[in-house]
Structure 1
Amino acid sequence: MKPQILLAYSTVALGQQVYIPFDRPSSRSQCSVNNTYATALPSYSFRQFSFTQTETVRTATPRPSPSTTRTYAPPYASLSHFVPSLSTTRWGNWQSAANATVTDIGNPYGNASWSALWGAVPWVNFTRGIYSTTVTPTPIPSSELVLPPPEAFGPQECYSFPADFMLGVAASAVQIEGAIADESRTPAHLDTLSLFSPGAEPNYVTNEHYYLYKQDIERIAAMGVKYYRFSIPWTRILPFALPGTPVNQQGLAHYDDLINFVLEKGMLPAVVLHHSDSPFQFYSNISDVPILPGTGIGYTDSGFQRSYRNVSYEDAFVNYGKVVMTHYADRVPIWWTFNEPLLGSRNGKSIDAVIKAHARLYHFYHGEINGTGKVSITFNDNFGVPRNPNNPADVDAANHFNSFQLATFANPIFLGQDYPESYTSTIADYVPLSEEDLQYINGTADFFSIQPYTATVVSPPPNDTIAACASNTSHPLRPYCVTQSTTTTTGWNIGYRSQSYVYLTPTYFRTYLNYLWNTFRSPVAVTEFGFPIFGEAEKLQQDQEFDSPRSWYYQSYLNEGLRAIWEDGVQFIGAFAWSWVDNWEFGDYDAHFGIQTVNRTTQKRRYKKSFFDFVDFIESRRQRS
């Protein structure tokens, strides 16, 4: 048994919520036992009636434009030698009917070759949005920035966030940009999702953020948000994916302008290099994209284990990362290499490629271009909690569940230790790490990034053992080899249910922060968390905007984060809301995770109550340096 796994066992056992039998109503621990109101009789009297409700009109505080701009690395002119012989070009927009007019067939990177990449996918009812060029932003009227009424009940603790606590919002390009065939971009693997998932909606248009980014950034900055976390699609920078192929001039210019506009509005850009958008060239056809149950680790194949024209995914991705970092590292303070890579991993080679590509880019950023910002990698894990924390078998199952999803990556990256037994006992084709590998990979993340939307109740497999499941490649509970549920020993669900897999589980969030901090010994940032209210898409506009359950979600989670900081000694350093707008939830527009609404006909955005409450909760509690 590995030492860090033993540590994880003790952390969960100590931190987990335990149900204690109690045959009376809850006590009010915040009230003193000598409270006068506990025994005194009320006094009744008449007085002149008046309407005493008062309404204080407050508005959001926009971020001020900066007077100076901090840099985190030398500019591209000083770093271009790290990516020698780059050539840039542009290919324009793809039109299926125009393929026949392309004549430069002899050019391996010409318009004919570029169009052929689009023609290789059997697009159905391909459409474009209402915009074809960048929209000039307009100021946000103060009438839109008036804070909504506060919730009647809420956290009463008096804790504060540290002055440098990161307040951010997040989204990914494949889910918000649209314009997928415009300005020289080529297909990404999840662009094809609707083609192999009957009933799924495509992302051809989504939120048209590619053309509306300035107005969107204006809206985010007007709310006082500090960090804008977004992804840059590999296929918009390198349409032909591989080292030595031309770089898209339009793509470079677009993100250059986006980053500069974020800075102009007083915010900071935070960039994800891979967020479910691998170049489709790594696939032979769309049937390669899904991972059918029982055939792999994740849900959709991100191609990490693949190669294209004898170039490995790892080498190609590192080249892409270097191109992006050298161009923008002077202005970007935070980088993530991969977002939730476990969910895109098919096998052990996938995991190996991710970890080694991540480590190479970390060393490139800090060791070669001497970047002074931060680099991380974001993991998924809906925190596994034992169904009965007093049952050792349930605790073992919860630790196996969490270890497989987290320690598989985090052991080498944060602790310099080998893969956990939960992974090596289950994935027969895992690629062993040598001592040299572990030395190189160790310490290649500047903070721990997690996306803890909810919690999962975990127990062992019924009528079986975890070990028996791990050794049986056809077992229906693979790869996690545990029973996952939403019901505790009391028979109650673990929390208020959203439209999707998310349940409101703030108490477990505090436990989770303890688990991460004490297991992997690194500051923890939540890079996505959010809540889709059940049936929100069916509600009237004004009812979508008054989204109290989402406000409860953010306020209660953040309050438990404060308790983890002050009562448990956990270094919780930032929170990024998912998402700053309703978006394409991988084939679905009805699961609304956004803190702004979107009119799908006009693309008009409107703030929701939760956006105000999310920002206000942090800023009203921030220590002033």
Structure 2
Amino acid sequence: MKLHVLLSSGAVALAQQVYLPVDGPASLLQCSRNGSYATAIPAHSFREFSFTQTETIRTATSRPAPTTTTTFAPNYSRLSSLVPNLTTTQWGNWDPASNATPTDAGVPYGNASWTALWTAIPWVNFTRGLYSTTVEPTPVPTSELVLPPPEPFGPETCYTFPKDFLLGVAASAVQIEGAVADEGRTPVHMDALSLFSPGRTDNFVANEHYYLYKQDIERIASMGIRYYRFSIPWSRILPFVLPGTPVNQQGLSHYDDLINLVLESGMLPAIVLHHTDTPIEFYPNVSSIIIEPDTGGIGYTDSGYHLSYENVSFEDAFVNYGKIVMAHFADRVPIWWTFNEPLLGARNGHSIDAVIKAHARLYHFYKSDIKGTGKISLTLNDNFGVPRDPSNDSDVDAATHFNAFQLATFGNPIFLGQDYPDAFKDSVSDHVPLTAEDLSYINGTADFFSIQPYTATVVSPPPTDTIADCAANISHPLRPYCVTQSTTTTTGWNIGYASQSYVYTTPTHFRTYLNYLYNTFRAPVAVTEFGFPVFAEDAKKQADREFDSPRSVYYQAYLSEGLKALWEDGVDWIGVFAWSWADNWEFGDYAQGFGLQTVNRTTMVRRYKKSFFEYVDFVEGRRQK
């Protein structure tokens, strides 16, 4: 048989996979060719038989309660002057089945005005969950914390993780919280997604984390996780969006309590300010949320970055919101992200301009005005583009173009102080040029490079024309990236094991990707989402869903390859956040379970999956003391 071995190198010029033809089976690269078993002949003998297997019972190690308190900025009482003249109020819940009618019509920002934001949208099958108030946690039974049987094969290296390596789990409010119309929250654009696809499930209930957060934090901390990464919805803090409108006291109190509980549980909070949840007020009509094909759009749904509301730009309104949240919580939060995967919500070049400049403004606010000592970034998406044939220059150029469009569009100005890449400028005719003054202000406004590398994509040029021809044609079917994307290599084999969705397990490419990012953008690299929905997991029995060996292998393989990048290639890889701590609303679907826990959609009961234990055990078992 023929075997093609995939190798990678940490050198800047060689940080790209190459294929080496090999005849016959692969040698055991991890074993010495001259070892005692290389030429020895096994000896055979009869002996007394007995069942010798042992069963070691281990339990997960919960995070210990903190003995000291670390602060990362002054508290709100000392920062309030940075966000002057704030007024707070609170609103009720909206229930379309209720006959109650607000009595304060005509009052600016009153309950009638708040309710009108919900009634203006033609909701279908609006649903409420089981809970209407915060549920107090119960201790996690020890029986649930017993580690499952280990996989028979494991990583073959003895590399360790640095003492300060970030081990976390991630989630976004729009995908887990539910309670979308409760306690003052107003609609966001993703709430309306089901209106455009009849039959798709909605996020009205999701995981009811808004009311179950205390139990969820207890369960996450019980597994030994160190960082909880979550998002705060803009519309739950500022229901009327704009500067000068009232701040929702219930929203502030909710996240204040959540943050304190994370800290009391021995973990640290890590906050995302925008995770696909733009307030609905920015949209002239709900249909404008969808980016239609062949219209020159960049992303899939419009996050409204290029829009204005009552003559206030998204950029200015978002910066105002970000300042309010940072001023209230910066004393206790060590890591911030301004945006999550903004490219996927960008309609045009003005969208990109607004994101980059809003991000830079909030970075300077945090560092210069708040004088925070924590870290800030924004997290990008790119299923790493690898050339279909690494020995073919055209394929390599196509992969370079693909990655540059998605990464260098943000990475060049933010990390390098350089202009947008040609891959972006050639395809997006309305991009806003960056001046020398812009680049000076934007340069260096991220403390680490944040990426979400779920998988890899096999890339080659367009089949019938060129990348340049595609870039010049607004209706070209391969826009915006103008390359051919595939899941198969030159051998005809898939790039990896296929999941329930688009994810193919590609751990070797993960190592190459870390090399690419670190050597291109010259900053420490954090993986803020990665995960894997096991194929047809939702159709399995509960016990089989919990015993998710393919996901366990995914995490161990990716982490093992990351260690090679760290130790063999010199990459400054600083941490990982698994997506997600529980199965959640994957933008219209609950069947694609990326989670480390199952969720019963009737009872909301969570149960640990095997992969949760393996994920934590892999890192903590190798962490330097």
TM-score by length of 2: 0.97
RMSD: 1.2
Question: What does 1:546-561 correspond to in 2, within 5 Å?
Answer: 546-561=547-562
Task: Give the corresponding residue for 2:576.
Answer: 575
Residue of structure 2 in register with 1:120 after alignment: 120
Answer whether contact 1:11 1:515 (CA < 8 A) is retained.
Answer: no
Cα shift readout 1:148-199 (whole Å, capped 9, x = no counterpart): 1110111110000000000000000000000000001000100001111222
> What letter is aligned with 1:418?
D
Q: CA deviation at 1:10?
A: 11
CA distance in 2, matches of 1:160, 1:411: 32
Task: Identify the residue that residue 137 of structure 2 maps to in structure 1.
Answer: 137
Match of 1:333 in 2: 334
The Cα offsets for residues 248-295 of structure 1, whole Å up to 9 and x where unpaired, read as 010000000000000000000000000000000001222011111222
- Contact 1:99–1:115 at 8 Å: present in 2 too? no
User: Which deviates the most, 46-55 or 9-18?
Assistant: 9-18
Which amino acid is the alignment partner of residue 139 of structure 1?
A: P
* Match of residue 197 from structure 1: 197
- Within a 5 Å distance, the mapping from 1:261-272 to structure 2 comes to 261-272=261-272
Q: Distance between the aligned counterparts of 1:339 and 1:12, measured in 2? A: 28
Distance 1:318 1:99 in 2: 38
State the partner residue of 1:508. Answer: 509
Question: Cα deviations across residues 362-385 of structure 1 (Å, max 9, x unaligned)?
Answer: 000001010110000000000000
| CA deviation string 1:441-474 (max 9, x = no partner) | 0000000000000000000000111111111111
Corresponding residue for 1:492? 493
Instruction: Judge conservation of contact 1:384–1:402 (CA < 8 Å) in 2.
Output: yes
Residues 103-153 of structure 1 show CA distances to partners (whole Å, capped at 9, x for unaligned) of 212212011100000011111111111111111011111111111111011
**Aligned partners of 1:395, 1:186: CA distance in 2, in Å?**
46
Equivalence for 1:530: 531
In structure 2, do the counterparts of structure 1 residues 10 and 580 end up closer, same or farther at CA, with 3 Å as the change threshold? closer
Matched residue type, 2:461: P
Question: C-alpha separation between the residues in 2 aligned to 1:34 and 1:409?
Answer: 50
Q: Deviations over 1:412-458 (max 9, x none)?
A: 00000000000000000000000000000000000000000000000
Distance 2:522 2:589 in 1: 37
Is contact 1:79-1:369 (8 Å) kept?
yes
Residue 323 to residue 48, structure 1, CA distance change in 2 (3 Å): same
User: Are the aligned partners of 2:276 and 2:345 in contact in 1 as well (CA < 8 Å)?
Assistant: yes
> Can you list the C-alpha shifts for 1:345-370, whole angstroms capped at 9, x where unaligned?
00000000000000000000001010
Residues 238-257 of structure 1: pairs in structure 2 closer than 5 A: 238-257=238-257
1:74 aligns with 2:78: no
| Aligned position for 1:343 | 344
The match for 1:453 is 454
* Residue 227 (structure 1) aligned with residue 227 (structure 2): yes
Contact 1:16 1:508 in 2 (8 A): no
Measured in 1, the distance between the counterparts of 2:401 and 2:45 equals: 63
Indicate if the aligned counterparts of 2:91 and 2:111 stay in contact, CA closer than 8 A: yes
Give the C-alpha shift of residue 39 in structure 1. Answer: 2.6
Matched, 1:422 2:394: no
Q: Kindly indicate whether residue 433 of structure 2 is the aligned counterpart of residue 432 of structure 1.
A: yes
Counterpart for residue 3 of structure 1: none
Contact 2:415 2:444 (8 Å CA) reproduced: yes
Which aligned pairs between 1:10-25 and structure 2 lie closer than 5 A? 14-25=14-25
Aligned to 1:298: 299
Give distance in 2, aligned partners of 1:85 and 1:45: 86
Deviations 1:531-556 (A, max 9, x none): 00000000000000000000010000
Secondary structure at 1:529 match in 2 = coil
- Find out whether 1:105 has 2:109 as its counterpart: no
Runs of 4 or more, structure 1, over 6 Å off, are: 9-13
Distance across 2 between alignment mates of 1:465 and 1:227: 45
Measured in 2, the distance between the counterparts of 1:154 and 1:390 equals 32
Partner of 2:116, secondary structure, is helix
> Which residues of structure 2 form unaligned runs of 5+?
1-8
Distance 2:29 2:67 in 1: 48
1:44 maps to which residue? 44
Higher mean C-alpha displacement, 183-192 vs 42-51: 42-51
Give the distance between the partners of 1:101 and 1:598, measured in 2 at CA.
Answer: 35
Q: CA deviation at 1:30?
A: 2.0
Q: Do the aligned residues in 2 keep the contact of 1:129 with 1:208 (CA within 8 Å)?
A: yes
Contact 1:102 1:111 in 2 (8 A): yes
1:139 aligned counterpart, secondary structure:
coil
Aligned to 2:18, the other structure's residue is in SS state coil
Shift of 1:11: 6.9
Alpha-carbon distance, 1:99 to partner: 7.3
Match of 1:6 in 2: none
Counterpart of 1:356 in structure 2: which amino acid?
K
Preserved contact between residue 11 and residue 569 of structure 2 (Cα < 8 Å): no
Change in CA separation of 1:13 and 1:548 when aligned onto 2, cut-off 3 Å: farther
Q: Structure 1 pair 408/10, CA: closer, same or farther in 2 (3 Å)?
A: farther
For 2:493, what is the secondary structure of its paired residue?
coil
Measure, in 1, the Cα distance between the counterparts of 2:32 and 2:127: 64
Residues 12 and 519, structure 2, Cα contact 8 Å, conserved in 1? no
* Superposed counterparts of 1:378-457, under 5 Å: 378-457=379-458
Equivalence for 1:150: 150
Deviates more, 1:242-251 or 1:34-43: 34-43
Question: Following the alignment from structure 2 to structure 1, what is the Cα–Cα distance between the partners of residues 441 and 39?
Answer: 67
* 8 Å Cα contact 2:30-2:156 kept in structure 1: no
Kept in 1, the 8 Å contact 2:63–2:223? The answer is yes
CA 529–402 in structure 1, closer or farther in 2 if over 3 Å, else same = same
Is residue 582–residue 596 contact of structure 2 (8 Å, CA) maintained in 1?
A: yes
Deviation, structure 1 residue 13? 6.3
CA–CA distance in 1 between the matches of 2:101 and 2:511? 60
Structure 1 residues 181-220: aligned runs within 5 Å: 181-220=181-220
Native 8 Å contact 1:536 1:592 kept in 2? yes
Residue in structure 2 matched with residue 4 of structure 1 by the alignment: none
SS at 1:504 equivalent: coil
- Alignment partner, residue 6 of structure 2: none
Taking structure 1 as the reference length, the TM-score comes to 0.97
Given residue 71 of structure 2, which amino acid in structure 1 is its aligned partner? Answer: T
- The CA deviation at 1:17 is 2.4
Partner SS state of residue 26, structure 2? coil
Corresponding position of 2:5: none
Distance 1:19 1:435 in 2: 42
SS in 2 for 1:19: strand
Q: Distance in 2 between matches of 1:312 and 1:32?
A: 63
**Residue type of the alignment partner of 1:497:** A
Rounded to whole Å, the distance in 2 between the matches of 1:24 and 1:578 is 38
Q: CA deviation at 1:22?
A: 1.7
CA distance in 2, matches of 1:270, 1:197: 33
| SS of alignment partner, residue 114 of structure 1 | helix
Unaligned runs of 5+ in 1: 1-8
Per-residue deviation, 1:43: 1.4
- State the partner residue of 2:624: 623
Deviations 1:315-364 (A, max 9, x none): 00000000100000000000000000000000000000000000000000
Instruction: Name the CA shift for 1:410/1:99 in 2 (closer, same or farther; >3 Å).
Output: farther
Matches of 1:237 and 1:58 in 2, distance apart? 42
Contact 2:10 2:565 (8 Å CA) reproduced: no
Q: Does 1:591 align with 2:603?
A: no
Structure 2 partner of 1:360: 361
